[in-house]
Amino acid sequence: MEKHKCTRISKLLSLALRHKPEQLGLELDRAGWADVGLLLQRLAAVGLPLSREELESLVRENNKQRFRFSGDGQRIRANQGHSIPVDLQLEQLEPPSVLFHGTALRNLGPIQEKGLCRQQRQHVHLSADEATALQVGSRHGQPIVLRVAAGEMHRQGFAFFKSDNGVWLTGHVPPAFFSFD
């Protein structure tokens, strides 16, 4: 598939599977799954026809592995990043002792005051490596990377999850648990 079309479909899938399924006339179930057959029909209806094989290759080759199929291949969902309330049924896990969060420098004031909040999404997103966090922060402006004492938070009872594409998720990071240079 042509790269431009691929990116367009990927963005539309992120929108529909994380935020606004109604945009494509889809419904997600409680765990965030949408029907693949219906999705292909709806994409064709908005002028983006693609075959099942093309959708499979888009999911397989997506740079951040944003989507996955159900075991039977009948359904598809986003691995993380939702703003609508879905239960991804992720298992709680012990995180590495340090995780990273990239943000824009201008957010630092409110973050120091209130901690890291999930904002529009269901979770605060954290990365296992600093380079990824830097990229995430750069999406918002001049980036700064916070080091989150995830191991200590976990010991104190905060829940951590890891999405199927390797993003660490938690509900809120109070100011006591992060530092920066």
Among 38, 107, 151, 166, binds ligand HQG (CB under 6 A): 107
Among 76, 100, 103, 122, binds ligand HQG (CB under 6 A): 103
Q: Hunting for tokens 């990071």 — which residue is that?
A: 173
d(CA 6, CA 174): 38
Query: Which residue type, as a one-letter code, is found at position 106?
Result: R
- CB neighbours (10 Å) of residue 24? 20
Among 6, 12, 38, 64, binds ligand HQG (CB under 6 A): 64
Residue 32 binding ligand HQG, by CB under 6 A: no
Q: Is the CB of 41 or the CB of 69 nearer to ligand HQG?
A: 69
Residue 125 binding ligand HQG, by CB under 6 A: yes
d(CA 125, CA 114): 16
Distances (CA, A) of 67 to 52, 104, 109: 14, 26, 34
- Contact set with ligand HQG (CB under 6 A): 14, 64, 66, 81, 103-104, 107, 110-111, 114, 116-117, 119-121, 125, 136, 140, 167
